[in-house]
Amino acid sequence: MSQRDSLPKYFLEAYREISGFITAVLDKLRPEEVNRFVDELIDVYKSGHKVVVVGMGRSGLVARGFAMRLMHLGFKSYVLGETITPSIGDGDVVVAISGSGTTSLVIAAAEAAKKMRSTIIAITSYSDSPLAKTADAVVIVPGRTKVARIDDYFARQILGLHEPLAPLGTLFEDTAMVFLDSVVAELMKRLNKTEEDLEKMHANVEVP
């Protein structure tokens, strides 16, 4: 028996399910969407305009992590809703993250930013969602974002399907995080940034 086989059963199964899903998504990403996203970010960096990210719940935590990495790269990046987030306008980019594309506060923020003539980039699992329809550009990141319906129970039993070990929007949120971290790696190379450059921008005052 390997050391891996000694791990807790459902921990191991969930780990495989999540990591396998993230790997499989790589073949479903649309190159034109990813390339436009990266190009838009490079343009806003070179122009000195701002990037504002927005997301709710766990997607909001993913958004915050992305905003932090953009700051480390030298972007003027902000999280919508923070007290220090400035006004936005023409030339700025808003990255709106919602797996379902129906999160009301994210949609409202995107609509408001669009009125200010900012460019809206949606990261969502649904191309026909309200958020996607509001956005100027969309990156489709597949992921399970809905709870399995109780009236699907018998159909799931007949098909031999089990309840997913990654509940609610976990697969979208984890995949979006890996996707955005990979975008950061691409930006590092394109902007000739090193890990030392990022380290210089890292917080050096820590709360004990």
Question: Could you read off the pLDDT of 42-91 as tens digits, one per residue?
Answer: 999 999 999 999 999 999 999 999 999 999 999 999 999 899 999 999 99
pLDDT number for residue 156: 45
Query: What residue numbers bound the domain in which 128 lies?
Result: 4-192
Residue range 68-82, pLDDT digits in tens:
999 999 999 999 989
Whole-angstrom distance, CA of residue 146 vs CA of residue 75: 33
Residue 33 annotated in active site: no
CB 64 within 8 A of CB 58: no
CA distance 204 to 208: 12
Four-residue CA torsion sign, 186, 166, 11, 152: negative
Structural domain contains residue 197: no
Q: How many domains does the chain have?
A: 1
State the CATH number of the domain containing residue 108. Answer: 3.40.50.10490
Asked whether residue 54 is assigned to any structural domain, the reply reads: yes
Can you give the pLDDT at residue 74? 94
pLDDT at residue 170 tops 50:
yes
Determine how many CB atoms are found less than 10 A away from the CB of residue 48: 9
Of 173, 186, 196, 206, which is the active-site residue?
173
Does residue 123 sit within a domain?
yes
* Residue count of the chain: 208
Q: What is the DSSP letter of 165?
A: S
